[in-house]
Structure 1
C-alpha cells in the first residue's frame, strides 16, 4: 500500500493531467456563485485543540478532529472524522487569521507538511495559525477494501474501438466491485468538491470569516472547487505548481508533455557531449524511440516490488519514465536514464521496472482512481481519446502519450461529482502563483491568468512545491502576499537556489 501511494505521489505532476481541449478563459460568461449552506453539524462544531498523539510533530503543534458528512448532500447521514494539526501564530497579539494548507497527491494528507512548514514558514507563522488537515481521500486510502487495490485490468492505450470498449467494461466492473465492498461510503465521495466542502467546514469550525489558502500540486483542484463554491470566503490564495482544472485536464496534459519534451531534448544534447552517458556516440533520442516502438510490439518483462512480475509497453515507458528526463543533482537522473534505456533495449527492464510496472497497475486500481474519476479526468469516449493521442504525439514524438487515468476513468460508473467548469467571474481576490521552469510555471500561470490582477513568480530552476523545498525567494513573496496582500510585479523571477 505504501509503495502504491508513493508511486502515485511521485507521478502526480504528469498523471494528473488530461486530453486536448481549449483553455476555458470565458470568465465573463460565468455568473457569480452563491454560497451553498454548510451542514448544521459543521456550523455547530467548534474545534478543541490539544496535544497530538503523533509525537513526531514539532512543538508547539496542536491537534484536533472535525466531523463531516461522508455525503454532503446528506448532512445528517454517515459521518467521518478528519484529523487537523495547527501551528499557532507565534505573535498572537498581531495575529491576522488562519492559513489552510491544501495538499496534493491526489489524496495525500496535509498533516505530513507540518514539519516542513515549521521549518520553512517561520516568518508567515508569526501572524498566522498554520492549519493542516487529513484529506478524506487519505482516509479512504487507509480504509479501502482489498478488492479496491486489485487492478481492474492491465491498462493499455487502446488502438481500436473494440479494445477501448473491452477495457472500459473491465474497469467499470472493477469500480462496481470496489463500491459494493465499500462499507464507508467514501468511494463515491472522495472528489475535490467534497473536499472543498470539508475545507468550508474547517473554516466555520475555526471561527474565521475568511481563509487564506496555501495550495500545491493537485491541491489546486479542491482549491478551485472551493473558489467556485465559496469565493467570498477566500481572503488570499497562493498556488504552487498546481494543476488547473478550470482550464481543462486536456489543456494541462498537453502543456505537461510539451514541458517534458523540452527536457528530453536537453538530455539528448547532454548525452551527445558526455562520454559517461551510456548512449554516448549514438543518437539517444533515436535509441529511445526505437525502444518504445519495440516495447509496444513486444513488451519487456520487468518486476515491481509491490505487484511482482509485469511487462512494460512503449506506452507505459513514455508515461512513467518521465521523471528521469529531469537532470537531477550532478545529472544523476540522466546518467541512470541512459543506463536503463541501454539495458532495456537488450531485454533487461530492471532499470524501469519499479516505476513503470507499479505505475501502470497502481493507476489501474479502482480505489486509487476514485478521486481522479470523481474530478472528471477520464476521456469522454474513444473519439476524445483518439483526438488527444493525435495532439500529444504530433509535436511530442518522445513522450507524447495517452494519459493513463484518462483511459482508466472512462469506465467510471458514477456521475462526475466535480466536472471541469470555469471559475466565477466575480468575488475572487488576485492570487499569487509560483512554479519551476521545468514544468510547474506553465500550468500554474494558466490559473493566475484567469483571475485579473494575479501574478505567477517563475523559479529559474526545476522543482515542485517550491515552499516545501525551502526556496527562500519564493517563500519571501508568498509571505509578503499572504501577510499584506501585496503581489510582486508581473514577470517576477526567483533565481535557482
Structure 2
C-alpha cells in the first residue's frame, strides 16, 4: 500500500477495507497513519486474539447467524421452511448427511457431507441470503421423501471430489500462505487441536463451529512455527479519525471483534453498528451507505457509537 501511494505521487491516500481488508488497513494505519486522508473499515478483524478465542468467537457468531435465520423463517411466509421446526429440520439433515444419505443435487452419484452443507448455508448468511438458504435446506430435506434411507457405510462416491482439471495450469490458492503468516495458530499436537474443536462445538452446536475458521486453523497445522506477522494489540498514534462499521449479527466476524479493536484505538476510531445481519455492511441501507460516503468524500465523521437500524434483508 505504501509503495502504491508513493508511485501515485499522493501525499495522503483514502482506503476502504472490508473483512480481511480491514487488517491491511489497521496495520497500514499503525505504520503510516500520517499518510492517510480517510479510512473506512467494515466487518473488522481483531488481530489481537489467541487461537482459542479466535476459534470460539468465530463459532459463536456463526451460531448466532443460524438463530437469526431461524427467527426469520418463523416470521416470514416466504421462507421455504416456514411453519416447521427449522432447528430440528437442520439437525436432522446434518445427521442424515453423516450417514451418507444426502445426495449432491448437482452430482446425484455423490453424497454431501454435513460440513459441505453447513459451509454452503454459512456462505448464504453473508448477504444475508436467507431465502436461498431456506430453499437449499428444504430441497435437501425433501430427499427423505424421494428415496429410502441408505443402509451400511457411505458409498465411495461420498469422498471429496477430485480437484478440477485445470488443463495443466497451476491454480492460485494463496489463502493459507497469507492466513498462516498473519496468525500464530499452531496446535502442537492432536490433543490440543481436539480440545480446541470441542470448545468450538460447544459454542456452535447446530452449525458445528465456523466452517471457514475451522478449516483455516486446521490448514496451519504443520506450517513453520515462525510467523511473519503475529497478532498483537493495535498501536495507532498518528492517523486521522478512522470510521469502523460492523453488523450486529455478522456470521464471520463477531461484533465483539469490532468493539475490541475500537477499545484498542479509542482516540483514533469511530464505531458505527448496523443492527442487522450479514457480513456485508456498506450497501445494507441508506444509513450505512451515507455514513461511508459522507466520510470518504466530505470527511464528515458520525458520532462514535452511532447505529443504523436493521433493514429488510432483501431475501
Structure 1 pair 236–282 and aligned structure 2 pair: CA distance change class (3 A): closer
Q: Does the 8 Å contact 2:203/2:209 carry over to 1?
A: no
Q: Does 1:435 align with 2:237?
A: no
**1:315 maps to which residue?**
115
| Alpha-carbon displacement from aligned partner over 1:368-400 (angstroms, at most 9, x marks no partner) | 532223323754333443333222221421113
SS of the aligned residue for 1:245 comes to coil
Structure 1 spans left out of the alignment, 5+ residues: 1-198, 349-356
**1:371 maps to which residue?**
178
Q: Does the 8 Å contact 1:263/1:326 carry over to 2?
A: no
| Alpha-carbon displacement from aligned partner over 1:258-282 (angstroms, at most 9, x marks no partner) | 2332332244345556777665665
Structure 2 CA distance, aligned partners of 1:370 and 1:421? Answer: 19
Structure 2 CA distance, aligned partners of 1:261 and 1:221? Answer: 24
SS of the aligned residue for 1:412 comes to coil
Structure 1 pair 378–317 and aligned structure 2 pair: CA distance change class (3 A): farther
**2:91 maps to which residue?**
289
**2:138 maps to which residue?**
339
Q: What is the deviation of 1:300? A: 4.3
- How many residue pairs align between the two structures? 284
**1:397 maps to which residue?**
205
Q: Does the 8 Å contact 1:227/1:423 carry over to 2?
A: no
**1:481 maps to which residue?**
295
What TM-score comes out, normalization by structure 1 length?
A: 0.48
| Alpha-carbon displacement from aligned partner over 1:60-84 (angstroms, at most 9, x marks no partner) | xxxxxxxxxxxxxxxxxxxxxxxxx
Structure 1 CA distance, aligned partners of 2:278 and 2:125? Answer: 13
Structure 1 pair 272–207 and aligned structure 2 pair: CA distance change class (3 A): closer
Structure 1 CA distance, aligned partners of 2:127 and 2:69? Answer: 7
Structure 2 CA distance, aligned partners of 1:420 and 1:214? Answer: 22
Structure 1 pair 208–325 and aligned structure 2 pair: CA distance change class (3 A): closer
Structure 2 spans left out of the alignment, 5+ residues: 148-159, 165-170
Q: What is the deviation of 1:463? A: 4.3
Q: Does the 8 Å contact 1:220/1:244 carry over to 2?
A: no
Matches within 5 A, 1:114-263: 199-247=1-49, 250-263=52-65
Q: CA RMSD in A?
A: 3.8
Q: Does the 8 Å contact 1:481/1:487 carry over to 2?
A: yes
Structure 1 CA distance, aligned partners of 2:68 and 2:270? Answer: 28
Q: Work out which of the residue numbers 370, 374, 380 in structure 1 matches 2:187.
A: 380
The answer to which structure, 1 or 2, has the higher relative contact order (CA under 8 A, 6+ apart) is 2
Q: Does the 8 Å contact 2:38/2:240 carry over to 1?
A: yes
Q: Work out which of the residue numbers 252, 256, 270 in structure 2 matches 1:455.
A: 270
Q: Work out which of the residue numbers 61, 66, 72 in structure 2 matches 1:264.
A: 66
What TM-score comes out, normalization by structure 2 length?
A: 0.71
Structure 1 pair 465–229 and aligned structure 2 pair: CA distance change class (3 A): same
